[in-house]
Structure 1
Amino acid sequence: MTTAAATSAGAYASGSAARNVQPPWTRPDPQGNDAAPELHVYNSLTRTKVPFVPMKGKTVTWYNCGPTVYDASHMGHARNYVSQDIIRRLLRDYFGYDVILVQNVTDIDDKIIVRARQVHLLSELQKQHASGLTKELLEQVQEAWRVFFEKTLKRFAPPPAPQDNELGGAALIEAMWEEVSRLYKDEQWRRENTEKEPKLGMWFAALDSSRQAQVAAAMSLAATPTTEELSKQLIDASADVLSPWLDAAKGASVSDHSIFRSLAEYWEGRFYEDMTRLHVEKPTLVTRVTEYVPRIVDFVKRIVDNGYAYADSSPGEGKSNVWFDTRAFDGAPSKAANAAPEAKKHHYAKLAPWSKGDKALLEEGEGSLSTGASTVSGKRTPSDFALWKSSKPGEPAWPSPWGSGRPGWHIECSVMATEVLGTQIDIHSGGVDLMFPHHDNELAQSEAHSGCGQWINYFLHTGHLHIEGLKMSKSLKNFISIDEALEKYTPRRLRLAFLLQLWSSKMDFRESAMAEVKNAETTFNNFFATVRSHVREARSRGLAYSDGTAHFSQAEADLLTSLVAAQQNFRRAMCDSFDTPSGINILLELVSKANVYERSAKPQNFNVEILESVARWVSDVLLVFGLGEGPRREGQIGWGESPEPGAADGLHSSEDREEILMPYLKALSGFRDSIRKLAREDAPSAELLKLADQLRDVDMVDLGVAMEDTESGQAMLKLVPAAQLQATRAEKEQAAKDKVARKAEAAEKAKAARIEKLQKGSIAPELLFRRSSGAPVEESEYAQFDDKGIPTHDKEGKELAKKRRKNLEKEHEKQIKLHEEYLAAKQAGEI
């Protein structure tokens, strides 16, 4: 205990001083299942789950093997990169790590070289025959076809009959093809031989396609004028048999770097388009092999200087291959600090030591252009692998101390990862098929370069993908490109399918499993829609609304307990090497319990807040998994709307469809409710018209919809900014108010005028002329009157003129009427 703490504790214990200091605090001590779990990951370097401990606190350095860009991406790529994207999101968005992910693009490789040459040579052949189909072109295709047949299907043909042997040459090949074609129609023969050679179907399709095109071309040459389209049809149909034939004959003449780069650039673009559609986030940094060749040369030179690589005897003038010396490296001392004695030695094939002598894997790792006897003759041992390859004619080349050449496949990742992330990295990932020799060779050459004992701390390998129980293969017709998959399934469903499998395990992609995925998606969608409906209804009553009752009973307590338990269990699942299948099941079980509560709770006792809390947490987790559609909003309930494949629905791309439509639907629903109520009450049609006007002038205006009545009886609809329509409505309302005011003012004026007029009628007709206007009666301007009170003489006694007398009679008659109106108004209380 510190001095300050001791003084405080002593003061607290002294009695009277206890009121002046804080009491001691007891540190919580979680036990058992309540303790926070520690993240463990399955590490291929140990083949066990080990604690995850980044070297720099909360920063994680990660290198991921990217694509070799020479063809379309397939479902194997999708499984690999989506699974790694999920782990990246979990590390960053759930566990709170800062992840720096570097991913390479292999844009120069044996496969790219061969494919680029073939594409280029086919294009050149098309140009040569742009004027039309020729006999020369047909003969070239026929020759390529025969060579392809001899290399592939000839061995499946039965021994030729004696008479066929006499045919010789092309005729004999024709006869053997006819036999293979006949046998291929037999399902049992096809199945048995496909088991021996999986590429049988692919080879037969290529030969059959070209053969049919040749027959059509021969007929066209004999019967119709030649055209460019005819030559193009023949070349396109024969591309698979022409490509290797052209490459063997002319591949060595292709040397322009741009030919290789253009192919790689095209397929790299397609790859990232596919990743974007699958919602795979871009890496922090993308590196390309062709951008790092000078650094690769320096890297290899250091390995040579360290004694772990050697240049072979020159296979060509001034050129050498450089090989990694696995025997010199294996068991040599490393610079590993604070390690056990065995860890202070270098080890070759750390990931798969049992594969050191696997000739097939070793040859595959060197590439199709690097496995010939002349190429590998300089190797000291079979397990040695190429760091630098001398370039042959038809291959791109860069300068080096060993002559012009190009990098080996494995060295590229070591150089790019080390250059960006340093000599020790937290995570390296890739497909399990890269474990040996690629990743093992990476480890060896990187540790040979720097001398470190452990270049990578955690190796994460995603499992193989099988289709309906079989390894994915074009020849087995179960090869699915990402394009094809997205025509059938949404990105969300594909990601859900991957989430329902352990990332490190083999995955069997089955149609039946996708039905299960769709059911899970529907369960989440229905739950979110229900909760959003309840939340909207609650908010319509006001954020501070209360009915004075605490809606928390045993049902709410049970649901809250289920939420806490689900959160704890989910964290344990994610800490158990990202166990996403368990994580998804935990979410579905919680949703099921929430649905039971929602259906069983009485409306008057319903607690929306607890249900909303469940939905928000489930939403947050699904969004962390990368399952969201559209922009993410604060406090979002749900994961956005994912349209069916091919659906032309763009609402989800900018805003959540429900958020857009619900105000309109609510207005229409309210209108419908009012109509039904009036119908039950047999209300007059005027009341229905009043509702229609309310919808037009109030509800739709506030939603930015102008409804203009037309003579046809159908309203014209226009989408106009709500503020503009509201301003127009306000102007109309003000104009109506002004009209009422003017009418009221006019009425007041009319009333005043009438009262003024009625006041004139207050004088009895017989008294009208007995006084001057406004003067007492005795001051009348007349001296004599008749019996009606009409003057006959003026005040000087002079008799009035006849015309004047007549005018006075008219005034008297008018006064009679005014007086009658006055008396009637007075009686009515108007005045």
Structure 2
Amino acid sequence: MSSTAETSTKAPVTWTAPVPVVPAPELHVWNSLTRSKVPFVPLRGRRVTWYNCGPTVYDASHMGHARNYVTQDILRRIMRDYLGYDVDFVMNITDIDDKIIVRARQSYLVRQLREKHAELSSELLQTVQDAWKSYFASTLVRFAPPAPPHESETDPVAAAEQRAGEGGWEQVARLAEDPEWRAKASAEAPKFSMWFKALNDSRSAQVAAAVALGAGETSAEQAALLIDASEDVLSAHLDKTLGHTVSDPAVFRDLAAYWEGAFFDDMARLNVERPTTLTRVSEYVPEIVSFIERIVSNGFGYVDEASPNRNVWFDTVAFDGGVCGASKHTYAKLAPWSKGNRELLEEGEGSLSTGASTTRGKRSAADFALWKSAKPGEPAWPSPWGMGRPGWHIECSVMASEVLGEQIDIHSGGVDLMFPHHDNELAQSEAAHQCGQWINYFLHTGHLHIEGLKMSKSLKNFISIDEALSRFSARQLRLAFLMQPWNSRMDFRESAMAEVRAAETSFNNFFANSKALLREAAARGATFSDGKNRYGDAEKELAARLADAQLQFRAAMCDNFDTPKGIDLLLQLVSRTNVYEKATARALVNVSLIEAVAQYVSSMLRMFGLGTGVVREGEIGWGTEAASGGVDTESLLQPYLVALSSFRDSVRRLARSGAPHTELLQLADRLRDIDLVDLGVALEDQEDGQALVKLVPAAELRAAREEKERLQAEKAARKAAAAAAAQQKRREQLERGRVAPADMFRPPHAEGYGTWDEQGIPTHDDKGEALAKKRRKNLEKEYERQTKLHTDYLAARDAGEID
């Protein structure tokens, strides 16, 4: 009892709170609102509310979409899977939009035309000709030379028709044959080549159709050929003349639904996770109407009462400088330099919402539509202002607010959306919520350029996601994005993809080596020891490299998600581990340390979304495709592979011992390079004579083998070309020696000389004048050179080398 009392009265143990040698980094992000890197502070603990602008679904997704959505997926994964935030990620689908309306109408009307004209007819040909003329008049007629002055003066109408019709086209087509003229035209009109092709293809099809009709041929195949070749010129013409007749809402929804499905299929192939919540504009129209009513009641929106259209506009003048509590509203926070940019403002309103008829009643050119009144040929919903549809910008404000609340941590999207879309979102949301800061952090991904140029169909550098995935794997594309700063412009170049392939190969080789070493260690047993210390200075240095890489990697991720540095750190760590493994005797390699590095590198790469298939705990590599029946194929096959490898080692030793059986070596190499490759087995010969067995996906091994064969073929082709060039050069040299030196200065080989010495060297010209001493000396030198060339020629002729 006394001892217990004694203990209780003793002073507490002295303890000093540790001071970190390296403080934990805090996340800083590039915020477009401040145009600087700022600390990231969520509103609610570790929960992050995040709204990402989704696609307008009217066409196939392209590499610009991939750049944006893969990048946002990477940032989301870093925040959630590495930095430990709870991310509520919301993304919208824009399924009500001018582009969708126009594309849906055009597709529907062309489809109707096909159904109406199942066979070729003069009526169909006339429709195509009218469409062609309209298309030419709106695109390339400007390049047709004007009619001669006397013609334009006598009949200006005929001159105009000539310029806009076949005559004008023939002039443009002739001019386009001149590359220099065509280059100038393309500089003036970047879409020149695209327009020219559409017109030319249709014109050729019209000629063929006219010939077919003349011969009495009216087949369905001929009709289809004409419509297919003329679809571009038909689409615009049919929409202009018949677009107002399209009234079925299903026409617009069906197109949007189709391309929405295609978009998510592409995203799945790129390993982009679906959002926590997906919203569609068409599902939020009542909420949008209520939101607009709040903006109007707060004094920042107005109805165009004087016009029958009854559009509802956002009042940018009232908002800019307006007061909200202690805060003052500011319009165009994100891109104040674009404020008033008429081209961007009109583009933001959409192709169906510009022009005097649709913008009449606006108080300011910068005001934008909150609600668009219905026009024939457009989908419409009820509202207090009559039938109509939402403006483009209002949709995101409403859906983000409905799902995430009146203040949101992060809003993201492509930098091309900064103005006017995101600036208009901010304005109308702060006007509705009467707040000074609706979004705390705006994250904008950089533009994507192709080989230095902005991606464009007219520049023929437009790459769809489907096309990109036919050339590169999803992992390679994601790696390409990871190796560039997420918020900077990215130039997608073939040379950059070569760097990506090299990085992927480095990781692949490292994983294969690491797994091979681990399998060998497992075969020795968990308790194996030969009494040798496997943690010396080399191991301590590698362990320190791992710890330092982990610290630097976290700092990089917290420094505005610096993924290029992160990938570089992982590659450096892999390289340093390879150096350690190569410099250490195989039996003394510290496999546990190799495993620690490999697991860390693997987990970081998978965190970036580079993994595939099923990932088991402690898995090394990208992941493993699920095997049928849940069988671990690696464990199942390993004993057989080791036995097969041992057999090959023995065969190689036998052949190298002096036995005259070199065929055995060839057989062993065939086993390594062909048979086992197709089984997904790589054998790497080691200095100790025992191959290192690796299990690698057969596709990777075949690709490596094909690449090796390609390089060998290229090398052989270069060698053959060099040999052919050398042979040609040799023949040319020998041909120069065909003329005997005694004849080289005589006709027909030379003119202007009249007298020669016994060797055949000229002494006088053809006028009888003696040659100057200097000239004679030069001729003697030429004679000596020709003598050597002729000697070589004779020798080659005698040897059959030349005729």
Give TM-score, length-normalised by structure 2.
0.78
Q: Alpha-carbon deviations, 1:698-748, whole Å to 9, x = none? A: xxxxx9xxxxxxxxxxxxxxxxxxxxxxxxxxxxxxxxxxxxxxxxxxxxx
1:120 aligns to 2:105 (yes or no): no
* 2:29 pairs with one of 38, 41, 45: 41
Shift of residue 677, structure 1, vs aligned partner: 8.0
Q: How does 1:1-20 map to 2 (within 5 A)?
A: 17=7
Q: How does 1:782-797 map to 2 (within 5 A)?
A: none
1:193 aligns to 2:185 (yes or no): yes
Shift of residue 228, structure 1, vs aligned partner: 1.5
SS in 2 for 1:423: coil
Cα distance in 2 for residues equivalent to 1:675 and 1:248: 78
Shift of residue 410, structure 1, vs aligned partner: 0.2
What is residue 46 of structure 2 aligned with on the other side?
58
* 2:642 pairs with one of 666, 674, 694: 666
SS in 1 for 2:279: strand
> Structure 1 181/84 Cα, relative in aligned 2: closer, same or farther at 3 Å?
same
Shift of residue 633, structure 1, vs aligned partner: 1.3
SS in 2 for 1:62: strand
Shift of residue 101, structure 1, vs aligned partner: 0.6
Q: Alpha-carbon deviations, 1:44-86, whole Å to 9, x = none? A: 0001011111111111110000000000000000000000000
> Structure 1 463/385 Cα, relative in aligned 2: closer, same or farther at 3 Å?
same
What is residue 759 of structure 2 aligned with on the other side?
none
Identity of aligned residues (%): 63
Shift of residue 374, structure 1, vs aligned partner: 1.6
Cα distance in 1 for residues equivalent to 2:629 and 2:561: 29
1:247 aligns to 2:239 (yes or no): yes
Q: How does 1:261-660 map to 2 (within 5 A)?
A: 261-316=253-308, 319-335=309-325, 344-640=327-623
> Structure 1 439/528 Cα, relative in aligned 2: closer, same or farther at 3 Å?
same
SS in 1 for 2:137: helix
What is residue 141 of structure 2 aligned with on the other side?
154
Cα distance in 1 for residues equivalent to 2:372 and 2:551: 54
1:203 aligns to 2:195 (yes or no): yes
Q: Alpha-carbon deviations, 1:382-435, whole Å to 9, x = none? A: 111100000111111111000100000000000000000000011000000000
What is residue 775 of structure 1 aligned with on the other side?
none
Q: How does 1:750-829 map to 2 (within 5 A)?
A: none
Shift of residue 189, structure 1, vs aligned partner: 2.0
> Structure 1 463/656 Cα, relative in aligned 2: closer, same or farther at 3 Å?
farther
Q: Alpha-carbon deviations, 1:553-573, whole Å to 9, x = none? A: 111011011001111111111
Q: Is the 8 A contact 2:193 2:458 kept in 1?
A: yes
What is residue 124 of structure 2 aligned with on the other side?
137
Q: How does 1:208-223 map to 2 (within 5 A)?
A: 208-223=200-215
Cα distance in 1 for residues equivalent to 2:643 and 2:383: 75
What code does the residue aligned with 1:376 have? T
Cα distance in 1 for residues equivalent to 2:614 and 2:216: 59
SS in 1 for 2:84: coil
Shift of residue 544, structure 1, vs aligned partner: 2.1
> Structure 1 679/236 Cα, relative in aligned 2: closer, same or farther at 3 Å?
closer
What code does the residue aligned with 1:665 have? L
What is residue 238 of structure 1 aligned with on the other side?
230
Cα distance in 2 for residues equivalent to 1:198 and 1:655: 57
Cα distance in 2 for residues equivalent to 1:69 and 1:662: 49
Shift of residue 310, structure 1, vs aligned partner: 0.3
> Structure 1 332/660 Cα, relative in aligned 2: closer, same or farther at 3 Å?
farther
Q: Is the 8 A contact 1:566 1:590 kept in 2?
A: yes
What code does the residue aligned with 1:304 have? V
Q: Is the 8 A contact 2:313 2:369 kept in 1?
A: yes
Q: Is the 8 A contact 1:629 1:652 kept in 2?
A: no
Q: Is the 8 A contact 2:614 2:624 kept in 1?
A: no
> Structure 1 83/183 Cα, relative in aligned 2: closer, same or farther at 3 Å?
same
The gaps in structure 1 that reach 5 residues or longer are 1-10, 336-340, 643-649, 683-702, 704-831
Cα distance in 2 for residues equivalent to 1:217 and 1:681: 78
Cα distance in 2 for residues equivalent to 1:205 and 1:482: 24
> Structure 1 264/653 Cα, relative in aligned 2: closer, same or farther at 3 Å?
farther
Shift of residue 549, structure 1, vs aligned partner: 2.8
* 1:25 pairs with one of 7, 15, 18: 15
Q: Is the 8 A contact 1:199 1:476 kept in 2?
A: yes
Q: Alpha-carbon deviations, 1:113-144, whole Å to 9, x = none? A: 000000010011111111x1000110110111
Cα distance in 2 for residues equivalent to 1:45 and 1:384: 21
What code does the residue aligned with 1:219 have? V
SS in 2 for 1:523: helix
Cα distance in 2 for residues equivalent to 1:164 and 1:72: 48
Q: Who wins on radius of gyration, i.e. which is larger? A: 1
SS in 1 for 2:330: coil
> Structure 1 333/136 Cα, relative in aligned 2: closer, same or farther at 3 Å?
same
What code does the residue aligned with 1:591 have? V
Q: Is the 8 A contact 1:315 1:374 kept in 2?
A: no
Shift of residue 328, structure 1, vs aligned partner: 1.2
Shift of residue 176, structure 1, vs aligned partner: 1.3
What code does the residue aligned with 2:541 have? D
Shift of residue 548, structure 1, vs aligned partner: 2.5
Q: Alpha-carbon deviations, 1:115-174, whole Å to 9, x = none? A: 0000010011111111x1000110110111011101100001222346876765765421
SS in 2 for 1:389: strand
* 2:71 pairs with one of 83, 107, 111: 83
What code does the residue aligned with 1:476 have? L
Cα distance in 2 for residues equivalent to 1:133 and 1:616: 66
Cα distance in 1 for residues equivalent to 2:454 and 2:378: 32
User: Which deviates more, 279-288 or 650-659?
Assistant: 650-659
Cα distance in 1 for residues equivalent to 2:589 and 2:388: 74
Q: Alpha-carbon deviations, 1:207-263, whole Å to 9, x = none? A: 111111111111111124311221111111111101111111110111110000000
What code does the residue aligned with 1:320 have? R
What is residue 746 of structure 2 aligned with on the other side?
none
Cα distance in 1 for residues equivalent to 2:634 and 2:239: 57
Cα distance in 2 for residues equivalent to 1:150 and 1:652: 62
Shift of residue 197, structure 1, vs aligned partner: 1.6
The gaps in structure 2 that reach 5 residues or longer are 659-678, 680-803
What is residue 692 of structure 1 aligned with on the other side?
none
Cα distance in 1 for residues equivalent to 2:250 and 2:590: 66
> Structure 1 309/663 Cα, relative in aligned 2: closer, same or farther at 3 Å?
farther
Shift of residue 668, structure 1, vs aligned partner: 2.4
Shift of residue 355, structure 1, vs aligned partner: 1.4
What is residue 229 of structure 1 aligned with on the other side?
221
User: Which deviates more, 632-641 or 94-103?
Assistant: 632-641
Shift of residue 654, structure 1, vs aligned partner: 9.2
> Structure 1 199/574 Cα, relative in aligned 2: closer, same or farther at 3 Å?
same
SS in 1 for 2:458: helix
